[in-house]
Amino acid sequence: MHSHHDKTRGWQPFWAALGAALLVLLPLVGGTILLTRQSLRTKLAAKPQSGVAVRMPKTENQLTLLVCTAGEQPGFVLLYLNASQNCIRLAALPAETAIPFGQGEATLAQCYAAAGPARCREALLEPLALPETTRYLALSPSVLAAIADRYGMLRVGFSGALTADELAQCGLSGGVQALSAREAQSLFSGWDKDGTLPPSHRAAARAAVWDAFFRQDLELLPTTLPAALRAHSSELLTDLTAQDLLTLESTLEFLANGNAAVSADALPGAWNPTRRFYGLTDASRASVQTLFNVWPTEAQAASSSEP
């Protein structure tokens, strides 16, 4: 009996030491896993493939997507990803954007309510000279939240989108705020319903949220975003094919490895308060062309052309 008691006492310091070692090791192991994933991704990207020295983005590693967030007040974002230009660009389109519809004109929101996202995409193709390959993706607020919640809170600054008076009126500070996707969505819905903020400012605020999402979560997106879209495929309205999702995956992979430049803004246009139409202008078209013809800076071009 006596010797058994000694044995347990002998073990105690061992367990205490093991516990202490684990406390030190766990964060290290966590960090190492992250680092290993990072270096594994970098290695994968640099792994020679059938005699090719470095895996370079192909011209098809790009995607233009009209994203529609459904709900009472739909939101619209034109998203452009291009791996060879190492950029992610966004233009938020006000729901009041006027587009050709039937014999006359309608707003994007009216078009969406009457005929869905495919018709919105079609109506924007010509006026904005979008690439024929532009795809559409519509998500309900609940699916959007389900996908975005896994990334946690977004740190968003609205001072570039709204004036100081508008910020005060909305009860927002000029600093950076932490918002969940759900909170952002209800903020926008409220503003759209209320209609007091100018459409271009509301669109700029939406762009700020998307901008924050791509900047903060770029590292996670290649592995999680296409997977989330696949998991929710039955709840999406989209013409994204299985091949498009693979393209999205490899494009995001390149963009994450290249720490891509992200830029987001509201689509310029002319607001007609009487008709409640946001008219497309030469400035709108020019800004969309700039969106697509982005060339990498010389530094980026030099670094990507190195052997």
The encoded tokens of residue 157 equal 């600054």
Query: 62-305 — its CATH code?
Result: 3.40.630.190
**51-108 tens-digit pLDDT:** 444 678 887 899 999 999 998 889 999 999 999 999 999 999 999 999 999 899 999 9
Q: What is the pLDDT at residue 56?
A: 81
Q: What is the pLDDT at residue 73?
A: 87
Which residue is associated with the tokens 């493939």?
49
Q: What is the pLDDT at residue 152?
A: 92
Q: What is the pLDDT at residue 241?
A: 96
Q: What is the pLDDT at residue 16?
A: 63
In 3D space, the residue among 256, 105, 77 whose CA is nearest the CA of residue 184 turns out to be 77
Q: What is the pLDDT at residue 144?
A: 92
CA distances from 74 to 107, 113, 150 (A): 11, 9, 22
Question: Global pTM?
Answer: 0.78
Cα–Cα distance for residue pair 46/56, rounded to 1 Å: 9
Eight-state DSSP code of residue 58: P
Domains in the chain: boundaries = 62-305
User: What pairing do the DSSP bridges indicate for beta strands 135-139 and 62-69?
Assistant: parallel
Cα–Cα distance for residue pair 287/218, rounded to 1 Å: 24
The encoded tokens of residue 63 equal 């995607």
Q: What are phi and psi of 56, to 5 degrees?
A: -105, 150
Cα–Cα distance for residue pair 225/256, rounded to 1 Å: 12
In 3D space, the residue among 190, 160, 171 whose CA is nearest the CA of residue 71 turns out to be 190
Residue spans of the chain under pLDDT 50:
28-29, 32-33, 35-36, 47-53, 298-307
How many of the other CB atoms lie within 10 Å of CB of 222?
Answer: 20
Quick one: 90 exposed, middle or buried, by C-beta within 10 A (0-12, 13-18, 19+)? Answer: buried
Eight-state DSSP code of residue 52: B
Residue-by-residue DSSP string for 192-208: HHH--S-HHHHHHHHHH
Amino acid at 95: A
Q: What is the pLDDT at residue 239?
A: 97
